[in-house]
Structure 1
Amino acid sequence: MAVEDKHISYRIYLVAVFIFLMAIAIVVKLTNIQWVEGDHYRKLAKQRTVRNFVIPANKGNIYSADGSLLATSIPNYEIRFDSKAPKTETFEEFVKPLSDSLATVLDKSSSYFENELRKARANNNRYYLIARKLSYTDYMKIKSFPLFNKGAFKGGIIIEQETVREHPIGKIAERTIGYDRIDPATGVEVGKGIEWAFKSYLNGKDGKILKQKIAKGQWKPIRDVNEVDPQDGYDVISTIDVFIQDIAHHALLKQLQDYQADHGCVVVMETATGHVKAISNLGRAKDSSYYETTNYAIAESHEPGSTFKLVDLMAILEDKVADTSKVYDSHGGVVKYYGRSVRDSHQGGYGKISLARGFELSSNTVMVQAVYDNYKNNPKKFVDHIRSFGLNKTLGLHFKGEGRAYIPYPGEKGWSGISLPWMAMGYEVSVTPMQTLTLYNAVANNGVMVKPQFVSEIKEWNKTIKKFDVEVLNPKVCSPETLKKVRAVLQNVVKKGTGSKLYSKDFSMAGKTGTVQMNYGGKAGKSALYYASSFVGYFPADHPKYSCIVVVHKPNTAKNNYYGADVAGPVFKRIAQKIFTDAPSTNKVKQLDYKIPKQENSYNNYTVLVNKKHKGIPNLKGMPGMDAVALLENLDLKVKIIGTGKVKKQSIQPGQNIVKNTTIVLELS
């Protein structure tokens, strides 16, 4: 028995020692937490219960050149209620007036709000939702309501704000105005257009607000004021003109619909400055509607076709290897190089015609012969001209995704015997529509090549922060002699060449048609081939103010009218005509000093009557009504008119004495 008691005592001592050691360990741990790691744990606790939240800055607005709003940030507000914040007597005093006030703004009754507010207080709800997606006006109203006007701590109002980006003109030019956002699927920043390119100006600087974690994982502001106030972004003034943009968008849309085309683009640029006044990029959806998809004008690099022949003509004239009058034989519309045929679109060719006429008619055989015959022994000289025009490199626009040009060079990979003749007719090269337009714009701008611009300045209210001046890419693309001849030929393309359907005696245009057969994407097989139709030029032809390019991909070929003049040309004409007729500065009034005898006689008779000292009421019969009114009012008489035209009858007969302020009735024919 004594032995057993001894074993029990031993186990008790062992347990006691263990408990003692555990107690020491706990004391050591608590001491360590309190004194050694105390700061770390206090900081961690604060991080989990108190946190700085970002207050996004309002983005700056994007405006058009004429002051229209293209993109703006609209704040949306969410109002919540901390039901435990107000004292009981304060809550009871103001709950009814608050409910009445909320009913005037929100679409619910006063009794509903009173019941909900009381229920929230009974349930200790510290984050009760009052309303969301409020406008700034409604937010300010609610903020001033009874109880809420006492602030977050005394009144319990909790304000959440988010910013929504809106485009007031809708989908028009959406890809150019663009966006800058985080892709929710990948978390990667994505952006397009002006919104992305100028985000450093538009975004501003975010602010901070300190919030404390409350029940149910919700956060409540600790103070009524922000830790750091957000700084709004600057405004961006674009070069887009909403009026011209609307014209271009709908002109392109109509043609795409008429031809059931796959996609297309149009750009209108101010000749002297390079300011892009309109840009539209429309692609076909599955339901056959069209919307802004890819920025084709900037991103899509492809073979340009006959619009590239301007390069041929400029190089030939600049090197003086041939003149516009030199005659070439079209050889029945077919010439061969290295076993490959170059064909004219006109069956049988054009016979023997001059170089200028070959350009006007877009003859492949003539233009290819002119280039090949003069540069076959030194193709580098021809390609160097292309490079001098800047067509071998990007324009360096602010936007992401600018299409890369491709110009083969002799001796490098991709060059072959047929490269030179194929380049002469716009194949085996790749440029974007914007690059092509920039070259034609240089011709219109007296040889000065300017960089296309989409933004003119950055502003903070009325203060200019940064101004984007005209950027010259090449001060002289060719000699004045070459320029004069090229401009004459481009004008003749519209007057009597492939663009003759577009000619109008009322306003002048110059440009070049283009039709290229494409195998887009490199797909094999004849079914993959399709046409791209284009027209590029400027207007008015004599004193160019605007240049413009239109490209339409994969028009319906059922009617066999897929040529540039038929598909793209009418869009160009519609834009030019609308701008021309609505811009008085482009109209010239002639013979201002021309006198119309009938008007002169009427004016002289009226002058005699006015200057004559009347002893009585004048005889007004046969006088135009407006002249009679002016005459009688000068005699201090009141006039009542019946009808329109000339005076047929007057209520006071001629010769009667004039009594001031008397009313005379005139009956007009």
Structure 2
Amino acid sequence: MAIDNDKKMSYRMYLVAFAIFVMAILISIKLVNIQWVEGDYYRKLAKDRTVKNFTIPANRGNVYSSDGSLLATSIPNYTMRFDALAPSAENFNKNLEPLADSLSVMFGKPSEEYYSELKRARAKKNRYFLVARNLSYTQYMRLKSFPLFNLGAFKGGIITEQKTIREHPIGKIAERTIGYERIDHKGENLEVGIEGAFAKYLNGKDGRQLMQKIAKNQWKPISDNNEVEPIDGYDIVSTIDVYIQDIAHHALLKQLEYYEADHGCVVVMETKTGYVKAISNLGRHENGSYYETINYAVGESQEPGSTFKLAGLISLLEDKKVDTSKVYDSHGGEIIYSNRKVRDSKKGGYGKISLARGFELSSNTVIVQAVYENYKDNPQEFVDHLNAFGLNRKLGVSLKGEGKPKIPQPQDKNWSKLSLPWMGFGYGVSMTPLQTLALYNAVANNGELVRPLFVQEIKEWDRTIKKFDKEVINPKICSQETINKVKAVMENVVKKGTGSKLYSPNFSMAGKTGTAQVNYGGGKGEGMYYSSSFAGYFPADNPQYSCIVVIHRPSVNKGYYGADVSGPVFKRIAQKIFTDVPSTNKVKKLDKTIKQQEQLYASYYDKEAKVKDNVIPNIVGMSGMDAVALLGNMGLKVQVIGVGKVKKQSLKPGEVVFKNQTIILELS
């Protein structure tokens, strides 16, 4: 029996040994497979889990105004969290109270509250406790110096999350035009304003750095050099002038608030270059406040109303169909085309007046008659002018979302007998405020139509990468003769027409009022409201700036005519620019002599020539300033009582002068 047991034991040992041998062979095969067959795969897997390329974000370029003010910049933003298990019990207990006190001083919450929250985080093994969000770099550095946190990530448990946010130092002013670039929920890039349109220049190129995992999701660089160095974005110099922008923004805001309007916009453009110096787009919020929301000036295409009459007047004069002196009967302020009425804003009309006066008074009946009578047999001739002005095409501005203009064409299937007369006073057509302004700017610019520009330069530090100079769309939209006539009529709009309330003898302006009834002739339902506008330029004799103001849905109880609602915004901007802007405060006619001034100079020098060096002169009747200068040159100390001319002197004329002697003058 013992022999059988020994045999069984031997078999078991052989079996175990054989199993171990087989396992050894299998392990060897696996090792060989891992090393030689699948080695590359596993080496790559190990590397991917322990070595990783991290993106080094490039610094996004800044956006500046034309005067050098910072409009948009990137700043670091920090979130601080706390790994409550990282510190040792000794370090945690030792620093908990002073840490709570420091946090209380910085953020204003009671220290007891911080003490309890941190202790609770430790008890619940919270490894991601939120300490603070939206910290500036200064706040972040201060927080890092607090007790416990100053021990670092491993001993102090501090966790830092950094991101870059875009700041607009001048606030919400022109925010929609300065713009932004962000990714929507679908992952699509929303390009808005200058930030979006010039993102490829602003973004730069991200770099890469190879880093190795060490512990607790902590990574360290493998070498001091980056795999790919980041290239910072370029800076954008916009055409916006901060001072003019501020004037335009607040002038528009004040008017929107007073008239309780729905929304409005204003654009100020440099006449010769097309540089947009100011643009404001304000829409009303539910709470009654106004914010930069939609870029109405660039994107909102609607019927312009009476500001479109300029296109009709230019066409008539250029074709020599009529002259500005041609007289029309306003027919009691109402005429009918295809059973549809065209009315003047003044009940009873204006009687018989010239075409020029009809434009100045914005008479719908006069302008429509002039257009219809001269182009009814060949409407294409009229439309060809509008197309030549570029009114049927987008301006092609750099900002995204430009509205599409609409100019009916005679060959269109929806062209009707009403199309031509309705176009005469700005209905049935569609344009954005910026497109309307471009036409007015062309008149101010002696016929040269230029593209509105929002950026004038792209720079890398002090080096110019790209410059945006004036872009001419049409070198001459009409003859100089026509331009001169139209300019004179538009100047009279402000002097004695619908814009006469805006007239100022101190600075000249020219332009056209507009009061469009949106949904004109479509009934007075929910969709009908007024759009008030004013477009023009200043100064009238030598235009430097063109400007358009459009205000939608003003309270009809307070007023809705363009001259009353939008005109004052235009005047305020022109007035402020030519009285306050430093660049326009130029001293003129320095060589001109002033008779009274010359007489005073002559009197002073005559008196000085007659004075003997050692004798007190008679200075009664001389101006105080001249008397002080004269006596000071003689070595006397002068005390003055009062202002004006000298009526009494303490030392009598003819007395001998002693050095440093004091003389008292009483002035009238």
TM-score (norm 1): 0.84
* Correspondence 1:353-368 to 2 at 5 A: 353-368=353-368
Aligned to 1:468: 468
Cα 1:153/1:311, change in 2 over 3 Å: same
Q: Distance in 1 between matches of 2:228 and 2:308?
A: 56
Q: What residue is the counterpart of 2:273 in the other structure?
A: 273
Q: State the partner residue of 2:56.
A: 55
- Work out the CA distance in 1 between the residues paired with 2:551 and 2:84: 62
Q: How does 1:534-545 map to 2 (within 5 A)?
A: 534-545=533-544
Alpha-carbon contact 2:212-2:222 (below 8 Å) kept: no
CA distance in 2, matches of 1:650, 1:58: 73
Please give the secondary structure, in 2, of the residue aligned with 1:412.
coil
Distance apart, 1:668 and its partner CA: 3.5
Matched, 1:210 2:235: no
SS at 1:517 equivalent: strand
Secondary structure in 1 matching 2:253? helix
Per-residue deviation, 1:149: 12
Deviations 1:187-237 (A, max 9, x none): 322121011111111111222233444555x33333584443322211111
User: What amino acid is the match of 1:38?
Assistant: G
Contact conserved, 1:580 with 1:587, CA < 8 A, in 2? no
AA aligned opposite 2:256: L
Name the CA distance, whole Å, in 2 between partners of 1:78 and 1:442. Answer: 53
> Residues 440-475 of structure 1: CA distance to partner in whole angstroms, max 9, x if unpaired?
000000000011001111112221111111000000
State the AA in 2 paired with 1:220.
Answer: W
Letter matched to residue 545 of structure 1: Q
Residue 175 of structure 1: aligned partner: 176
Q: What letter is aligned with 1:570?
A: P
How far apart are the structure 2 equivalents of 1:404 and 1:642?
73
The one-letter code of the counterpart of 1:44 is L
For 1:114, the equivalent position in structure 2 comes to none
Q: Which amino acid aligns with 1:57?
A: A
Partner of 1:459: 459
**SS of aligned partner of 1:476:** coil
Over 3 Å counting, the alpha-carbon distance change for 1:27 and 1:130 in structure 2 is farther
- Which residue identity lines up with residue 179 of structure 2 in the other structure? G
SS at match of 2:303: coil
Residue aligned with 1:532, SS: strand
Deviation of the 1:381 alpha carbon = 1.2
Query: Which residue, 566, 586, 607 being the options, matches 1:568?
Result: 566
Q: Secondary structure at the match of 2:41?
A: helix
Report the Cα offset of residue 26 of structure 1: 5.8
For residue 526 of structure 1, what is the amino acid of its counterpart? G
- 1:582 corresponding residue in structure 2: 580
Per-residue CA deviation, residues 354-376 of structure 1 (Å, 9 max, x unaligned), is: 22122111111111121111111
* 83 and 204 in structure 1: CA distance in 2 versus 1, 3 angstrom threshold: farther
> Where do residues 4-15 of structure 1 align in structure 2 (5 Å cutoff)?
none
8 Å CA contact 1:152–1:224 kept in 2: the answer is: no
Deviation, 1:73, is 1.5
CA contact (8 A) 1:56 1:162 kept: no
Paired amino acid for 1:536: A
SS in structure 2 of the partner of residue 486 of structure 1:
helix
Q: How does 1:40-439 map to 2 (within 5 A)?
A: 40-76=41-77, 135=136, 161-183=162-184, 185-213=185-213, 215-216=215-216, 218-222=217-221, 225=224, 226-439=226-439
Change (3 A) 1:283 1:374: same
2:548 matched residue in structure 1 = 549
Shift of 1:513: 0.9
Q: Summarize the Cα distance change of 1:629–1:341 in structure 2 as closer, same or farther, 3 Å threshold.
A: same
| Alpha carbons of structure 1 residues 234 and 144: separation in structure 2 relative to 1, 3 Å | farther
- Look up the match of 1:484: 484
- The whole-number CA distance in structure 2 between the counterparts of 1:477 and 1:568 is 27
Which residue of the partner structure matches residue 643 of structure 1?
A: 642
Structure 1 vs Structure 2 CA RMSD: 4.4
Opposite residue 313 of structure 2, the aligned amino acid is: L
**Distance change (3 Å), C-alpha of 1:419 and 1:379:** same
The Cα of 1:25 is off from its aligned counterpart by 5.8
CA deviation after TM superposition for structure 1 residue 31, in Å: 3.6
C-alpha displacement at 1:186, in angstroms?
3.4
Distance of 1:143 and 1:503 partners within structure 2: 63
Moved more, 485-494 or 23-32: 23-32
User: Counterpart of 2:526 in 1: which secondary structure?
Assistant: helix
Distance 1:25 1:367, change over 3 A: farther
For 1:20 and 1:240, locate their aligned partners in 2 and report how far apart those are by CA, in whole Å: 84
Cα distance per residue 1:28-60 (max 9 Å; x no partner):
445433332222222223223332222222211
CA shift at 1:12, angstroms? 9.4
Q: After superposition, where does 1:617-628 map in structure 2 within 5 Å?
A: 617-628=616-627
- Deviation at 1:641? 3.3
Superposed CA deviations along residues 81-117 of structure 1, whole A, max 9, x for unmatched, are 999999xxxx9xxx9xxx9xx99x9789xxxxxxxx9
Which one is further off, 267-276 or 480-489?
480-489
Quote the offset at 1:19 in angstroms.
9.3
Match of 1:510 in 2: 510
Q: Provide structure 2 residue ranges, at least 5 long, that are not aligned to the other structure.
A: 109-117
C-alpha offsets along residues 476-521 of structure 1, whole Å, 9 cap, x if unaligned?
A: 000111111111111111112111111122211111111111139x
Q: Distance in 1 between matches of 2:223 and 2:642?
A: 71
CA distance, structure 2, for counterparts of residue 158 and residue 223 of structure 1: 21
Which string of whole-angstrom CA distances, capped at 9 and with x for unpartnered residues, describes residues 569-603 of structure 1? 11111111111223575889679746444x55543
Give the CA deviation at 1:155: 13
Deviation at 1:619, TM superposition (A): 3.4
Question: Counterpart of 1:35 in structure 2: which amino acid?
Answer: W
Deviation at 1:314, TM superposition (A): 0.9
From 588, 607, 610, give the equivalent of 1:609: 607
* Aligned equivalents of 1:204, 1:524: Cα separation in 2: 54
Q: Relative to structure 1, is the Cα distance of residues 350 and 640 closer, same or farther in structure 2, using a 3 angstrom cutoff?
A: same
Matched with 1:112 is none
Shift of 1:562: 0.8
Whether the 8 Å contact between 1:126 and 1:214 is mirrored in structure 2 is: no
Q: Structure 1 CA distance, aligned partners of 2:373 and 2:481?
A: 22
Q: Quote the sequence identity (%).
A: 67
Q: Does 1:38 align with 2:39?
A: yes
Tell me whether 510-519 or 267-276 shows the greater mean CA deviation: 510-519
Q: Greater CA deviation, 579-588 or 414-423?
A: 579-588
- Aligned residue in 1 for 2:113: none
Partner secondary structure for residue 658 of structure 1: coil
- 1:357, 1:535 → 2: CA distance? 18
In 2, are the aligned partners of 1:158 and 1:221 still within 8 Å (CA)?
no
Aligned partners of 1:523 and 1:338: how far apart in 2?
15
SS at match of 2:621: coil
CA distance in 2, matches of 1:605, 1:406: 71
The code of the aligned residue for 1:605 comes to S
- Deviations 1:526-579 (CA, angstroms, capped at 9, x unpaired): 1220010111001111111110000000000014x2111111111111111111
Name which of structure 1's ranges 199-208 and 469-478 shifts more when overlaid on structure 2.
199-208
Q: Secondary structure at the match of 1:581?
A: helix
Shift of 1:245: 0.6
Shift of 1:430: 0.7
